[in-house]
Amino acid sequence: MVYLLVKHKIKDYSKFKKAFLNNLDVVKDNGSQGGYIMRNSDDKNEVFVLLRWKDMDSFKKFSESKDTRLKSPKEGTVSNVEAWFFDDVEEF
């Protein structure tokens, strides 16, 4: 599995969530197998989105899609996003 973890600093969670869910079809149409929206327990305006793909080829389809760049959820976001990529190493 390949994972993308994106950190957003937001002003309004409901606006962010609505924008994210409105774009979920683009994410899934480009190979994502789903994921999670999580909030920092100490800072409710810090949101993390974790998405997964079965392999790097599937992720590349997502990352190279013009639709992905055009539809990133900016609504409710107050700062630039940070992103990290991970590969499965071992399950326990």
Residue 68 · residue 24 · CB < 8 Å:
no
Whether the per-residue pLDDT at 26 is higher than 90: the answer is: no
From 7-16, 40-49, 70-79, the region with the lowest mean pLDDT: 70-79
pTM of the full predicted structure? 0.81
The Cβ of residue 33 has, within 10 Å, a number of other Cβ atoms equal to 13
Averaged pLDDT, 46-69: 85
CA dist 6 to 16, 53, 64, 66, 92, Å?
13, 14, 17, 18, 24
What is the C-alpha to C-alpha distance for residues 20 and 27, in angstroms, rounded to an integer?
Answer: 10
